[in-house]
C-alpha cells in the first residue's frame, strides 16, 4: 500500500541506512573523533564553548576571551551577525557585523582561543572564515540548504544548531547535506525545542536532553548542548548544564558575560565569570563519573 512508504515522524533504522548513510553510526566511513585547533570532539574530553551572545565591543569580547581562557574554556563564542525576530534595532541592540568579526579576530589573536561564530549569509563566508575556527549555523537556518552547502564546501568544521521545531530526522537530514560535500566535521547542537509548556512566562523553549542518547544511538556525530538559550533563565543554567553532561553531551555551549544584567541582548540568561568558573569545576566532576573530562 502506498501509505506504508511513509513511516511517519520519527527516524527509523531503514531511514538511516538509505537516506542518511553518512551520518549513520557504523557506516563504512564511520569516524569517531576529529580535532579543531588541537581540541578533540567526540573523544574523552568535553569541549566548552563560552562567551557573550553578541560581540558588543572590542573591549568586551577581549575581556571575555581572557577570562574564559584563564578559567579553562576551549572556544570563544560570540555573534556579530544576529538579526532579531523583527527588523528594527533598539538603542541598546545593534548588530556589530563586520566590525564585530574584527573584534573577535583581535580577541582570538591576543588569547589564542579558537572562535565559533554564526554565519547567516553566503556573502560573508570569506570574511568569517578568516576568523572563525568553527562556523555556526543558527537554528533558523538549519534547513537553509544552500547556505549549509556553501559552508560545507569550505571544509571548516560546522556547529549545526537544531531548529526549535525540528525532529531528529530533520536535523540529521541537514547534517547529511554537509557530510555529502565531503566535510565530516559536524557538531550537532541542541538548544531547546518548542513544547506546549515551558514553566515560566519568560521562557519559550524546553531543553531536550532525551535527544542526546537518541542521537548517539544512531549517529557518530558529536552532540553539543546549549542550556543558556534553551532555558532563557540564569538560575536554571547550572542544573541543566550538569544534566546535559550527565546525559552524555559531547560539548557544552554557554553564554558568559562580564555583566549579565547589562548584556545588550537576552540579559536573563548569561552567567558571569565567577559562575562560569564554578560551573567548570562541577562539570568536570560530573564528566569524570562518565569516564570523561572537561578541563
Sites for its own copies among residues 88-117 (CB under 8 A):
88
> Is residue 195 close enough to count as binding its own copies by CB under 8 A?
yes
Residues across the chain: 295
- Alpha-carbon dihedral sign for residues 173, 177, 178, 181: positive
Q: Which is nearer to its own copies, 88 or 112 (CB)?
A: 88
Sites for its own copies among residues 20-59 (CB under 8 A):
20
Decide if 255 contacts 269 (C-beta within 8 A).
yes
Select the residue interacting with its own copies from 39, 129, 268, 275 (CB under 8 A).
268
Sites for its own copies among residues 236-255 (CB under 8 A):
236, 239-240, 242-248
> Is residue 127 close enough to count as binding its own copies by CB under 8 A?
no
Question: Interface with its own copies by CB under 8 A: which range of 25-33, 54-62, 66-74, 118-126?
Answer: 118-126
Decide if 229 contacts 140 (C-beta within 8 A).
no
Q: How far apart are CA 233 and CA 238, in angstroms?
A: 10
In Å, what is the CA distance from 131 to each residue of 56, 85, 188, 250?
Answer: 17, 26, 21, 24
What the block records as the C-alpha cell of 269 is: 540568561
Please, what is the minimum distance in Å from the beta carbon of residue 106 to its own copies?
26
Decide if 213 contacts 248 (C-beta within 8 A).
yes
Sites for its own copies among residues 273-292 (CB under 8 A):
282, 285-286, 289-290
Please, what is the minimum distance in Å from the beta carbon of residue 18 to its own copies?
9
Q: Which is nearer to its own copies, 59 or 121 (CB)?
A: 121
Decide if 73 contacts 48 (C-beta within 8 A).
yes
> Is residue 213 close enough to count as binding its own copies by CB under 8 A?
yes
Question: Interface with its own copies by CB under 8 A: which range of 55-63, 68-76, 183-191, 200-208?
Answer: 200-208
What the block records as the C-alpha cell of 201 is: 512566562
Size of interface with its own copies, in residues (CB under 8 A): 84
Amino acid at each position: 500500500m502506498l501509505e506504508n512508504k511513509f513511516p511517519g515522524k520519527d527516524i527509523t533504522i531503514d531511514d538511516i541506512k538509505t537516506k542518511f548513510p553518512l551520518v549513520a553510526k557504523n557506516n563504512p566511513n564511520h569516524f569517531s573523533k576529529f580535532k579543531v585547533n588541537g581540541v578533540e570532539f567526540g573523544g574523552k574530553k568535553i569541549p566548552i564553548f563560552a562567551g557573550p551572545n553578541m560581540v558588543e565591543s572590542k573591549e568586551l569580547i577581549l575581556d571575555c576571551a581572557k577570562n574564559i581562557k584563564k578559567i579553562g574554556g576551549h572556544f570563544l563564542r560570540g555573534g556579530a551577525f544576529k538579526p532579531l525576530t523583527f527588523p528594527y534595532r533598539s538603542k541598546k541592540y545593534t548588530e556589530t557585523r563586520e566590525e564585530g568579526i574584527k573584534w573577535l579576530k583581535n580577541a582570538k589573536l591576543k588569547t589564542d582561543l579558537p572562535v565559533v561564530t554564526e554565519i547567516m549569509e553566503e556573502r560573508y563566508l570569506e570574511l568569517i572564515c578568516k576568523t572563525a575556527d568553527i562556523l555556526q549555523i543558527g537554528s533558523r537556518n538549519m534547513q537553509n540548504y544552500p547556505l549549509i552547502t556553501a559552508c560545507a564546501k569550505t571544509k571548516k568544521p560546522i556547529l549545526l544548531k537544531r531548529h526549535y521545531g525540528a525532529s531528529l530526522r530533520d536535523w540529521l537530514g541537514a547534517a547529511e547535506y554537509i557530510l555529502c560535500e565531503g566535510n565530516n566535521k559536524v557538531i550537532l547542537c541542541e538548544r531547546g525545542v518548542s513544547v506546549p509548556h515551558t514553566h515560566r512566562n519568560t521562557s519559550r523553549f524546553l531543553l531536550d536532553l532525551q535527544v542526546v542518547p537518541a542521537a548517539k544511538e544512531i549517529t557518530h556525530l558529536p552532540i553539543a548542548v546549549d542550556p543558556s538559550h534553551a532555558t532563557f533563565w540564569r538560575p536554571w543554567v547550572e542544573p541543566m548544564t550538569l544534566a546535559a553532561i550527565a546525559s552524555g553531551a559531547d560539548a557544552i555551549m554557554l553564554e558568559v558575560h562580564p555583566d549579565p544584567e547589562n548584556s545588550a541582548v537576552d540579559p536573563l540568561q548569561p552567567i558571569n565569570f565567577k559562575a562560569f568558573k564554578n560551573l567548570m569545576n562541577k562539570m568536570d566532576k560530573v564528566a569524570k563519573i562518565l569516564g570523561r573530562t572537561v578541563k
